[in-house]
Structure 1
Amino acid sequence: MNRTTLAICAFFGLALVLYWQVQIKRSEMALVVDTRIERPDFVADELHTTEFNKQGFVDSKMSAKHMEHFSTSNTTLFTEPVLLLYPQNGEAKWQITAEKATLEQNANQVSLHNDVIIDAIDIEEPLQSLETQQVTFNLDTMIGRSEEPVIIKGNGFLITGLGLFADLNAEEITLLSQVEGTYEPH
């Protein structure tokens, strides 16, 4: 063999060894798991759940297209939730829908986000629907709060405002600022 052939063989051999080392490193990196990313402890699709209070009465019912629960933070994430709230051991009066919801079980509160709609279940209710982009409800006190723009529709009236305080047990809703409304008598 002459020197040129020997140099070419050595060059290709070195290239093969370097390629093999890169592939081994790439395989090792693929096996490394990022421990900073919290993984859900369990996941459910087409979820339906009912929560009872200490007296045995229904507190709330929730259904969702998708759910993920994280035990380290005691938080549950919902996609397309539908929440029925039962104030003070009564009948369900409000159905709440949204694109996303987060249930913080330590605080027993649910935050609903994106296209939040609160509909009255009873068609005789003067207030028929409320729309906003975010609202948080404490499930113990049935008090809801929002800092977002709010639209309230009812039988013959439309009210808009910024911010919301709602006490579902007392059946009171207060818009916090920039309140405007129109009323059309029947």
Structure 2
Amino acid sequence: MNRVTIGITAFFGLAFVLYWQAQVKRSEMDAIKIVGVERPDFIADNLRTIEFNKEGLIASKVTAKHMEHYASSDITHFTEPVYLIYPENGKAQWQLSADRGQLNKQTNKVILENNVIIDAIDIEEPLQSLSTQTVTLDLSTMIGSSEEMVYIEGKGFMIQGLGLHADLNAQKLSLLSKVEGTYEPQ
């Protein structure tokens, strides 16, 4: 063999080895991406949805700026969600909004985070607004809870306390500790 043939063979051999190494590294990187990052099964922008209960009555209405659903965990993430909650009697009574939300369909619980505001829809309701940083709501029982500071405004009063337990069906609300309030007669 002459030098040119040896040079060409060495060049193509080296090119093949470098190409093979690049392919091995690429497949390793693809495996890391697949294992490390779960992609949503579907995405929606400007979402509007209505959920019905077993009797055919509206259970909740949800709007959100952005939504991502992950079928493997059955969890849905929301950006700027707004929930209209319909307790047992079928009339919307509460509107819940937050910066972020998460719905777990396996447990049927909604977690709302950052600037959570719960407003009464009826202007005659004594309790008009509740705000906190995190609320967990069980959609099966309509029981909400929080371990954060909670601020409540109503007709002629303001109350704050640490922790919350609320039964939206029974329309009962309890602040758990460090409760302070101001009452202004009308």
TM range (shorter): 0.7 to 0.9
**2:99 matches 1:99:** yes
Specify the SS of the correspondent of 2:131.
strand
User: What's the Cα RMSD here?
Assistant: 2.1
What does residue 7 of structure 2 align with?
none
**TM-fit CA distance, 1:136:** 0.6
Corresponding residue number in structure 2 for 1:118: 118
Change (3 A) 1:28 1:104: closer
What's the counterpart of residue 87 of structure 1? 87
Alpha-carbon distance in 2 for matches of 1:60, 1:140: 11
What letter is aligned with 2:47?
L
Match of 2:71 in 1: 71
The correspondence of residues 1-186 of structure 1 with structure 2, limited to 5 A, is 21=18, 24=22, 31-32=30-31, 33-186=33-186
Q: Aligned AA for 2:73?
A: S
Moved more, 53-62 or 34-43: 34-43
Equivalent in the alignment of 1:5: none
Unaligned segments of structure 2, at least 5 residues: 1-10
5+ long unaligned stretches in structure 1: 1-13
Identity of aligned residues (%): 56
- CA–CA distance in 1 between the matches of 2:80 and 2:30? 34
- 1:109-157 per-residue CA deviation (whole Å, 9 max, x = no partner) reads 1010000000011111111100000001111110001100000001111
SS in 2 for 1:61: strand
Separation in structure 2 between the aligned mates of residue 86 and residue 144 of structure 1, nearest angstrom: 14
Q: TM-score, normalised by structure 2?
A: 0.85
Task: State the SS of the aligned residue for 2:34.
Answer: coil
CA deviations on 1:37-70 (whole Å, 9 max, x unpaired) are 2110000000001110100011111000000000
Tell me the matched-pair count: 172
Q: Name the SS for the 2:88 alignment partner.
A: helix
SS of residue in 2 equivalent to 1:35 = helix
